[in-house]
Structure 1
Amino acid sequence: MTATTRAPADGTALDLDRFRLRRFLDELAAEGELDIREEPVDLADVAAILQSSEKAVLFRQAGPEKQELAGNVVGSRARLARAFGVPAADVAREVKRRLSNAPELVELTRAEAPVQEEVLEGDAADLLTLPVHLQHGLDGAPYISATIDYTADPATGRRNCGMRRLMLRGPRTAGVDLIAPSDLRVMYMAASARGERVPVAYVVGCHPIDMVSAVMKEPRDELALISSLRGAPLPVVKCVTNDLMVPADAEMVIEGYFHEAGYVEKEGPYGEYLGYYGGVKTNPVFHVTAITRRRDAVFQTATISGNRMDLTDTSNLEALRMEMAVWSALEGVARQPVAVYAPVSAGGSMSMRFSIRPTYPGEARSALYAVLGAVGVKNVFVMNEDIDVFDDKQVEWAFGTRFQADRDLVIATGVRLSPLDPSLHGARTGAKAGYDLTWPMEHADRWELQTPAAPTYEGARFDSLEAALRDGPKRFEELMAATGSRDGREIVRALDGLRGQGLDRDDRGRYFLG
């Protein structure tokens, strides 16, 4: 486990607002990326506003309690890039680079930790006083959706983080989705079999980097992972009602435990991250023991489903996670990978595009197989470096002109896919497809396969057109450059006059004098 150090008593060693949600919202506002709603808003209207917004939204007066509520915070690649301080196309590579940062945890006392400025216990720890809204029309209840759960394995002590929603069940209980395979599910099932509760703390309201950390699947202490990705020491504090450590600079923490009774409570339905509903499932029950918060805490909600997946928090987070996995898969099979992109409009995990600069025959196909096998994505496209994988129009052009289904389609059957994929129709396994949109190496240098572009008029200058032609075969563009022509029609006239002197053209259309 990563060592934890103590900060000075006055907390001066750390900027406890640097990685808080409110400061990030201020940065978005300065860049015109935040829609601030000053007027009172009913919780019933929040979902429709968020679903139609391409910006992050801050409600100053949400619900009858008039609390501050933020949504769509990471609902775009640009906002994720802003969090890491890099261009949008470089986010995955930046996250991968930061994984090598040595983590540092700095433990604060309760008096020093902003997230424990207010502590609510007993009946005061009431989930129904929080601005939790109904997100989708068929949801089973309002959900707390922008949550990071913090737990620790009692057997190993390793700390675990994830993103799992809470369905309101009452003032101090909630349903939790713990069906999907995960370290936390394994931990809970073992504890439940022993008749033991699992302490858990849910952070609500955090910096986007913390959310990225929570969706990663790295074999390490996952609380320390936040410090690595931040590239800075992480202030932590022990919970009030259990021994779990949580980020001390968060907006709010809901402390509690999963009841030892096991999978006993119906949870759902809920609008899932692929844009369809998940059904009613039997899940454990979460019991609240305390709520701690900053005095000016901003509550956070996440956008998850609907027919514009590209605008949702979860699709953008999932896309980044999948791209990280692809970069890792390519390390051993592609000498010159160029770009990776998971289209967020497909939920971030259903389609994957990557480009490489092939250096030997079969390299692109080997890379395609590697990504299909290593990453849980259903459709994978590989293309040459001249195609911008982020540009739908270029990708469609490559798909239409470089792909032959009987030669370039790779299909893998009987493989595990996301159980939320509605096209499985209840099956336990499905199929993956790989699309090779690259040129075969033996054809890569064919001039007629080069992409046309506007002339640049680069080339050597000559005293006359005839001198340029005597030098060797020239394209028309090169003849214009050779004579300094800014028109071209006079070149046509001069060429016409040379036809009786052996003017000819080769199989690439270049002019020469025989």
Structure 2
Amino acid sequence: MAEKVKDLRSALALLREMPDQFIDTDVEVDPMAELAGVYRYVGAGGTVKRPTKEGPAMIFNNVKGHPGAKVAIGLLASRKRVAALLDTEPENLGKMLCKSVENPIPPVDFKGAAPCQQIVHKATDPDFDLYNLVPAPTNTPDDAGPYITLGMCYATHPDTGVHDVTIHRLCIQGKDELSIFFTPGARHIGAMAERAEQLEQKLPISISIGVDPAIEIGSCFEPPTTPLGYDELSVAGALRGEPVELCECVTVKEKAIANAEYVIEGEVIPGVRVKEDQNSNTGYAMPEFPGYTGPASDQCWLIKVTAVTHRENPIMQTCIGPSEEHVSMAGIPTEASIYGMVEKAMPGRLQNVYCSSAGGGKYMAVLQFKKLSPSDEGRQRQAALLAFSAFSELKNVFLVDEDVDCFDMNDVLWAMNTRFQGDVDVVTIPGVRCHPLDPSNDPAFSTSIRDHGIACKTIFDCTVPYDLKDRFHRARFMELDPERWLKK
């Protein structure tokens, strides 16, 4: 039996014991587009262009240009794997995370020599070069450059001293420079950088790569569930029942995740903006969760890197932007946020929530709602409104009854085809700020949209009216255990 999951290596050990959930290869792979191109077929899933599928996690042991380096991908690209790594059932993930947010366990300092600092490279070293030290891949030939897609960015607010961990788009721009993209108003570290800039100060930052999957999932919560001042590392602590351990950085006044595979240390420079594709001039950044390659930004902030530390024989971890891995990291915390808000408002009605692959974990939620009495008619739509409040980037909500499996999109569409009428069961809320990466959220797409990033949010009510429930019973099959008929 694998040891308890506490870092990337123990997570991989667990997956190695699970049938069909892990593979590795010694065949050389080019990190520039080829690595992601291979995994597109093996197990990317999500909103990746077809053909793709859900498949095992994968390690590439022979990465071109990086002797001795390994790159892991797809660790979280399956809800089944995420559940196994968090020691629960797939349908329970949202509820489990909701409970963890409400019962946080703050991080603590690591005692002794941190594993992530077994080897130290300082930017003052004559041969220091991020391109060689960090085997960061590109997803496609159009990418602006090599991207760190699973870097846990950790920083401290210059006024209040509160900490936060967030995943951001990080592109290697030079031997000691990274660009970081802050979605305006959407992430706490962006607010910290803005405040530091107002004070004309550099913002120390650490970027931990290759960590416990509980940290990667927990870091993706957003306001209002985790407001400014809430350290999402506390969610991972609650998930594991013990605190995340942090160590002091070597070259900046910040902390990092002690058992990470890699840590990049640096400072966000005030008053400087860089063009994301300044080296490639492709006009593109990288593939984002909606399934499209996003335009390169000319307003990325600059991180001046001061050091790279790592374990002996480190394992780089990466993901494909639109893959099922993003669905897991973004969608499961969103499910938790929605479940928590609706449960507080109307206990016992919301049975479960699923943020499906088709929405990249952000744009679409299916709410399984149980009407307990005639007065509950209409509350299902109130629950949908609460879902929009719980997660501002949500665009479409599907409401289904308790006898519909919200995790099975065929069952959801069955409910839409047999319990939905377009003229009475569609509720539209136009003119609401949503997400800038949805290309349809633009005035060019609809004259009703005043600015890029504004959307018409929509509720699809596929529930049966309470007074008609007796007419909508599904065919009742015998309940039994089929195992004795299936034994070989």
Report the TM-score range of the alignment, normalised by the length of the smaller protein: 0.7 to 0.9
Q: Map residues 135-174 of structure 1 onto 2, 5 A cutoff.
A: 135-174=139-178
**Partner residue of 1:326?**
338
- Given that 2:384 and 2:397 are in contact with CA atoms closer than 8 Å, whether structure 1 keeps it comes out as yes
Match of 1:502 in 2: none
Q: Which residue of 2 aligns with 1:251?
A: 261
Deviations 1:359-388 (A, max 9, x none): 133222322332234433111111110111
Preserved contact between residue 7 and residue 213 of structure 2 (Cα < 8 Å) = no
- Residues 112 and 18 (structure 1), Cα distance of their counterparts in 2 relative to 1, 3 Å cut: farther
Deviates further, 436-445 or 97-106: 97-106
Deviations 1:401-437, CA, capped at 9 Å, x for gaps? 1111121111111111101111113533220110111
Equivalent-residue separation in structure 1 for 2:182 and 2:307 (angstroms): 21
**C-alpha contact (below 8 Å) 2:100/2:235 kept by paired residues:** no
Q: Which has the higher contact order (CA 8 A, sep 6+)?
A: 2
Seen in structure 2, the aligned counterparts of structure 1 residues 105 and 352 have a Cα distance that, compared at 3 Å, is closer
2-structure distance, mates of 1:42, 1:317: 26
Matched residue, 2:466 = 441
Identity fraction in percent: 26
Secondary structure, in 3 states, of the residue corresponding to 1:398?
Answer: helix
- Supply the distance in 2 between the matched residues of 1:186 and 1:233 (Cα, whole angstroms): 26
- Once the two structures are TM-superposed, the CA of residue 445 in structure 1 deviates from its matched residue by 2.4
1:401-440 superposed matches below 5 A = 401-425=418-442, 427-428=451-452, 429-440=454-465
Q: 1:284 aligns with which of 282, 301, 306?
A: 301
Contact 1:336 1:356 in 2 (8 A): yes
1:46 aligns with 2:50: no
SS at match of 2:26: strand
C-alpha distance in structure 2 between counterparts of 1:191 and 1:108, whole Å: 27
Distance in 1 separating the partners of 2:22 and 2:200:
47
3-state SS of 1:422 partner: coil
- The structure whose Rg is larger is 1
Cα offsets for 1:445-497 (capped at 9, x unmatched): 24xx211133679xxxxxxxxxxxxxxxxxxxxxxxxxxxxxxxxxxxxxxxx
Is contact 2:381–2:459 with CA below 8 Å preserved after alignment?
no
Cα distance in structure 2, aligned partners of 1:295 and 1:455: 57
Separation in structure 1 between the aligned mates of residue 479 and residue 274 of structure 2, nearest angstrom: 70
1:38-64 Cα offsets, whole Å, 9 max, x none, are: 233222321111211222110112123
Cα contact 1:101–1:231 (8 A) shared by 2:
no
- For 1:107, the aligned partner's letter is D
Match of 1:371 in 2: 387
Name 1:499's counterpart in structure 2.
none
Amino acid at match of 2:409: D
The 2-side partners of 1:190 and 1:235 are apart by: 27
| C-alpha contact (below 8 Å) 1:115/1:252 kept by paired residues | yes
Tell me the TM-score normalized by structure 2: 0.84
- 1:345 and 1:189 map into 2 onto residues whose CA distance is 33
Q: For 2:108 and 2:183, locate their aligned partners in 1 and report how far apart those are by CA, in whole Å.
A: 33
Shift of 1:17: 8.3
Instruction: Return the match for 2:71 from 60, 66, 69.
Output: 69
Helix, strand or coil: the match of 1:284?
strand
CA distance in 1, matches of 2:384, 2:84: 31
Distance 1:339 1:226, change over 3 A: closer
Match of 2:412 among 386, 392, 395: 395
Partner of 2:368: 355
Q: In structure 2, how many angstroms separate the alpha carbons of the residues matched to 1:402 and 1:102? A: 40
Equivalent in the alignment of 1:128: 131
Higher deviation after alignment, 145-154 or 325-334: 325-334
Is this contact kept in 1: 2:433–2:455, CA < 8 A? yes
Change (3 A) 1:149 1:62: same
Matches within 5 A, 1:210-225: 210-217=215-222, 218-219=226-227, 220-225=230-235
Cα deviation code 1:270-315 (max 9, x no counterpart): 211111122121211111101111112111111113xxxxx43212
The aligned length equals: 435
Structure 2 Cα separation of the partners of residues 99 and 322 of structure 1 = 12
Letter in 1 for 2:129: D
Distance 2:4 2:17 in 1: 17
Could you list the structure 1 runs, at least 4 aligned residues long, displaced by more than 4 angstroms after superposition. none
- 1:183-198 aligned within 5 A: 183-198=188-203
* 2:214 corresponds to which of 209, 219, 224: 209
Secondary structure at the aligned position of 2:423 is classed as helix
How far, CA to CA, are the matches of 1:163 and 1:250 in structure 2? Answer: 14
More helix, by proportion:
1
Task: State the alpha-carbon separation in 1 of the partners of residues 190 and 106 from structure 2.
Answer: 27
1:240 lines up with 2:240 in the alignment:
no
C-alpha spacing 1:102/1:323, structure 2 compared with 1 (3 Å):
closer
CA distance in 1, matches of 2:136, 2:331: 26
Measured in 1, the distance between the counterparts of 2:6 and 2:433 equals 37
In the alignment, is residue 19 of structure 1 matched against residue 6 of structure 2? yes
- CA separation in 1, counterparts of 2:167 and 2:59? 21
Contact 1:43–1:131 (CA<8 Å) still a contact in 2?
Answer: yes
* Cα displacement (A) at 1:249: 1.1
* Aligned residue identity for 1:269: A
Aligned to 1:464: none
Partner SS for 2:413? helix
Residue 15 of structure 2: which of 5, 10, 28 is its match? 28
SS at match of 1:269: strand
How large is the RMSD of aligned CA atoms in angstroms? 2.1
Residue in 2 that maps onto 1:230: 240
> Partner of 1:134: helix, strand, or coil?
coil
- Is 1:381 the counterpart of 2:398 in the alignment? yes
- Is 1:260 the counterpart of 2:270? The answer is yes
Q: Distance in 1 between matches of 2:233 and 2:381?
A: 38
Deviations 1:114-137 (A, max 9, x none): 111111112354211121222123
Secondary structure of the residue aligned to 1:39 is coil
Q: What is the match of residue 176 of structure 1?
A: 180
